[in-house]
Amino acid sequence: MGLDNAISIQGDVEYIRNINVGSTENLSIESVFSFDKERVFIENINDEFFLIKIHEIFYEFELEFYKRSSRYKIVKDKLIQKLKFFRSEEKSKKLKEDKFLGEGKLIISRENNGKIKINLERPDDIPIKEDSIYPQFFIKEKLSNNILLINTPYFIIPFPLIEVFGDISIYDFDPKLPKKAIPITGKAELEEDGSNLSIILNNIIKNINKKKKLFNLVKDILPFISNLDVEKLAEKYFKNNYIPASLISDGTINIIALIITLYFEKKNLTIIEEPERNIHPYLISKMVEMMKDASHKKQIIVTTHNPEIVKYADLNSILFVSRDDKGFSTISRPADKEEVKIFLENEIGIEELFIQDLLGG
């Protein structure tokens, strides 16, 4: 997409920064990625095989803004990959970690003139150099003023971090859209607003096992459902008649979309805006349990203003976001606050603290 397009989508530079401070302060964004399974690449130096494992990646960039202008400047752009080094004596396709040699870092950064600086920190007895990992023509490259490292091959070698950002899905369901007729052609992944729900549902019910799994999950929350179809949905109240999509409740649409998001979409990080909208409070506890269950296989982030969600969530899983008097958002963890612990010990529910605006401390 590119940085210019990303900023334009947000409405220009004034809407990606704190409006109160304007151009007086820079905008800095940082991301840290750790992996359940370390990413491995192999280097052969004079017939010696070295295994290099990436166990954490840190990326940050910082933008400086010009007064009375939409222009900006990239003043910091850095990628740090934390590494573990091993020597392998076995010269086959399945190399073994025969000897741990130590840890290090591969640091890639942009200098003021746009040139790339690469620095490999490693134990002294490892003969690997920067140009063993990155070709010389990459190192000599000069980035243009509006291109970040994330949009360059530096994020492909040795590990395509861009795939991590691409493995994020964000949903803000509009239950009115799935009720409308749409073409049978469309994306195989659920759209952000859920508008292609019927296409996704159609793909699922073609598979007997997936259809059974989906039906059981829906039935657990909505026991009146007796069948699912892309054109019609039967309820126990009208067993001999089918309810067209236009008459299905918004809550039912939301629940079906949520279940598909949790159990059938493959992205490793799923962000859902206010999933409890249009859903009866009685069903929220089951909905939260489903999110907990699905979170064993992928990370799930939910935004909410609903105390029922807070009530059934684990305390250690709650992050409280508030805005200070300067307009900056701050994130705190209620589980770390002593006053919150005291309230809970006195049997005051976490949802009551949220309603009384006491979670922020």
Residues 4-47: pLDDT tens digits?
888 888 888 888 888 888 888 899 999 888 876 666 767 667 77
Name the least confident of 19-28, 156-165, 261-270, 315-324.
Answer: 156-165
CB within 8 A of 211, min separation 6: which ones? 204, 205, 228
Q: Does the pLDDT at position 232 exceed 50?
A: no
Name the least confident of 134-138, 217-221, 267-271.
Answer: 134-138
Domain 168-313 adopts which CATH fold? Rossmann fold (3.40.50)
Taking the alpha carbons at both ends of the chain, their separation in whole angstroms is 40
Tokens of 172: 């803000």
Average pLDDT of every residue of the chain: 83
Which pLDDT belongs to residue 60?
Answer: 94
Confidence tier at 148 by pLDDT (50, 70, 90): confident
Which pLDDT belongs to residue 265?
Answer: 93
Peptide bond before 123: cis, by omega within 30 degrees of 0? no
Domain boundaries, the chain: 3-160, 168-313, 319-361
Which pLDDT belongs to residue 296?
Answer: 93
Lookup result for tokens 């994306």: 187
Which pLDDT belongs to residue 234?
Answer: 47
CA gap 360, 330 in Å, rounded:
10
Q: Does the pLDDT at position 354 exceed 60?
A: yes
Let me know: does 104 contact 122? Beta carbons within 8 Å: yes
pLDDT tens digit sequence for 253-293: 899 999 999 999 989 899 999 999 989 888 999 999 999 99
What mean pLDDT do residues 54-81 have? 89
Let me know: does 256 contact 278? Beta carbons within 8 Å: no
The torsion of the CA quartet 287, 292, 297, 302, rounded to 10 degrees, works out to 70
What mean pLDDT do residues 92-106 have? 73
> What does pTM read for this prediction?
0.78
Lookup result for tokens 């292609």: 196
Considering only CA atoms, give the Rg of the chain: 25
DSSP code at position 142: B
Which pLDDT belongs to residue 7?
Answer: 87
Let me know: does 200 contact 260? Beta carbons within 8 Å: yes
Which pLDDT belongs to residue 138?
Answer: 64
Q: Does the pLDDT at position 105 exceed 70?
A: yes
